[in-house]
Amino acid sequence: KENLKYVSSGKAKDIYENSSGNLVFEFTDRVTAFDGKKKSEYDEKGEITCKIAEYWFKIMEENGIPTHYIECPTPTSMLVKRLDIVPVEVIWRNYVAGSLLRRYLAGDITLPQGVGTEEGSPIPGGMIEFTTKFEAVDRPVDTDEILSNGWLSEKEIEYITDLTKRINNIMSQELASSGIILADFKVEYGRTPDGEIILADEVGTPDGCRFWKGDDFEKGVITSLDKDVFRKSIGNLTVAYRELFSKLQRTNI
Ligand code: 5GP
């Protein structure tokens, strides 16, 4: 096996550097929620998540979204280009859920005009949010704070917003044919040595997206095929992730 240098560990991935200076993401079976307060491990989670990320990275590249993805050398690892990570996480929402609903119910925010106040209320046209990446707890930030901290320029915010919208359209369209609704997702971006901003981390995995079964949703029931299964303790994570992956693969046939 090639000489790998340990770099760091995220919530679900361990990161190494190879001799060419690229990074190797090792997808582990770990899962955490609520800023690390709830933790567990599920057999096969790493392998399924890695395969789902690989599936979506290829689709993104085919659709002209620039990404850091190179290849998956093993079933649980992904080789990616090393980037200078933009210190904000980007969240796209098509439906009310998660922290958006929580902040609304706590009286911290108002929802966009005309948007319902229940989990599953649609957000026409969608909405984008930004949170901090390198603070102990992910904290929502507005564009003024992003600009004044020098995290992104106004042009870069526009560019990232456009890319994120395109990613949403690509995923939502692809998922529609497998009967899955993309409620929301989180992406991260990084800068190449040339200063180009490209998609980083992982995309389209059930760790970082909310996926709802379309047929149940039509009946007014939300059935999650994502990390909400773990957050809400409503089933076995591996079973849900495996079901999601099998539905995705059927799309391609
Ligand atoms: P929320 O803000 O409602 O908790 O999350 C919105 C969406 O972004 C959800 O699909 C959630 O899984 C994803 N998300 C938010 N924060 C993180 C994070 O720190 N890591 C990952 N992997 N996904 C996140």
* Protein residue whose Cα sits closest to atom 11 of ligand 1: 208
> Looking at the structure, do residues 134 and 73 belong to the same domain, yes or no?
no
Q: Is the residue at 112 inside a domain?
A: yes
CATH number for the domain including 14? 3.30.200.20
Cα–Cα distance for residue pair 245/231, rounded to 1 Å: 19
Q: Is the per-residue pLDDT at 225 higher than 70?
A: yes
- What secondary structure does DSSP assign to 151-210, as a single string? SS-HHHHHHHHHHHHHHHHHHHHHHHTTTEEEEEEEE-EEE-TT--EEE-S--S-TTTEE
Q: Look at residue 250 in the predicted model and tell me its pLDDT.
A: 66
Kindly state the average pLDDT of the residues 9-19: 97
* Protein residue whose Cα sits closest to atom 19 of ligand 1: 138
Q: Look at residue 157 in the predicted model and tell me its pLDDT.
A: 98
SS3 call for 143: helix
**What total number of domains does the chain contain?**
2
**Percent of the chain predicted with pLDDT > 70:** 98
> Looking at the structure, do residues 67 and 185 belong to the same domain, yes or no?
no
For ligand 1, say whether the CB of 16 is within 6 Å of any of its atoms.
no
Q: Is the per-residue pLDDT at 17 higher than 80?
A: yes
- From the CA atom positions of the chain, what is the Rg in Å? 18
Kindly state the average pLDDT of the residues 164-171: 98
Kindly state the average pLDDT of the residues 191-199: 97
Q: Is the residue at 20 inside a domain?
A: yes
> Looking at the structure, do residues 56 and 127 belong to the same domain, yes or no?
no
User: Cα of 208 to ligand 1 centre, how many Å?
Assistant: 5
User: Cα of 185 to ligand 1 centre, how many Å?
Assistant: 6
> Looking at the structure, do residues 145 and 76 belong to the same domain, yes or no?
no
* Protein residue whose Cα sits closest to atom 2 of ligand 1: 99
> Looking at the structure, do residues 140 and 198 belong to the same domain, yes or no?
yes
Q: Is the residue at 168 inside a domain?
A: yes
User: Cα of 2 to ligand 1 centre, how many Å?
Assistant: 33
> Looking at the structure, do residues 189 and 75 belong to the same domain, yes or no?
no
Atom of ligand 1 nearest to the CA of 12: 22
The mean of the pLDDT values for the chain is 96
> Looking at the structure, do residues 114 and 232 belong to the same domain, yes or no?
yes
Q: Is the residue at 95 inside a domain?
A: yes
* Protein residue whose Cα sits closest to atom 22 of ligand 1: 208
Q: Look at residue 193 in the predicted model and tell me its pLDDT.
A: 96
> Looking at the structure, do residues 71 and 121 belong to the same domain, yes or no?
no
> Looking at the structure, do residues 88 and 194 belong to the same domain, yes or no?
yes
Q: Is the residue at 157 inside a domain?
A: yes
> Looking at the structure, do residues 49 and 174 belong to the same domain, yes or no?
no
CATH number for the domain including 228? 3.30.470.20
Higher pLDDT, 1 or 104: 104
Q: Is the residue at 54 inside a domain?
A: yes
> pLDDT tens digit string along 35-87?
899 999 999 999 999 999 999 999 999 999 999 999 999 999 999 999 999 99
> Looking at the structure, do residues 88 and 134 belong to the same domain, yes or no?
yes
Reported residue count of the chain is: 253
Q: Look at residue 249 in the predicted model and tell me its pLDDT.
A: 81
For ligand 1, say whether the CB of 138 is within 6 Å of any of its atoms.
yes
User: Cα of 136 to ligand 1 centre, how many Å?
Assistant: 14
Give the model's confidence band at 156: pLDDT under 50 very low, under 70 low, under 90 confident, else very high.
Answer: very high
> Looking at the structure, do residues 9 and 104 belong to the same domain, yes or no?
no
Cα–Cα distance for residue pair 175/211, rounded to 1 Å: 9
Q: 33, 52, 80: which is the final residue of a domain?
A: 80
Q: Look at residue 253 in the predicted model and tell me its pLDDT.
A: 46
User: Cα of 38 to ligand 1 centre, how many Å?
Assistant: 15
For ligand 1, say whether the CB of 227 is within 6 Å of any of its atoms.
yes
Q: Is the residue at 253 inside a domain?
A: no
Kindly state the average pLDDT of the residues 100-127: 97
Kindly state the average pLDDT of the residues 77-99: 98
Give the model's confidence band at 251: pLDDT under 50 very low, under 70 low, under 90 confident, else very high.
Answer: low
Q: Look at residue 82 in the predicted model and tell me its pLDDT.
A: 97
* Protein residue whose Cα sits closest to atom 23 of ligand 1: 208
Q: Is the residue at 70 inside a domain?
A: yes
Q: 34, 51, 80: which is the final residue of a domain?
A: 80
Q: Return phi, psi of residue 165, to 5°.
A: -60, -45
Q: Look at residue 1 in the predicted model and tell me its pLDDT.
A: 56
Q: 80, 112, 129: which is the final residue of a domain?
A: 80
Range of the domain at 21: 5-80
For ligand 1, say whether the CB of 56 is within 6 Å of any of its atoms.
no
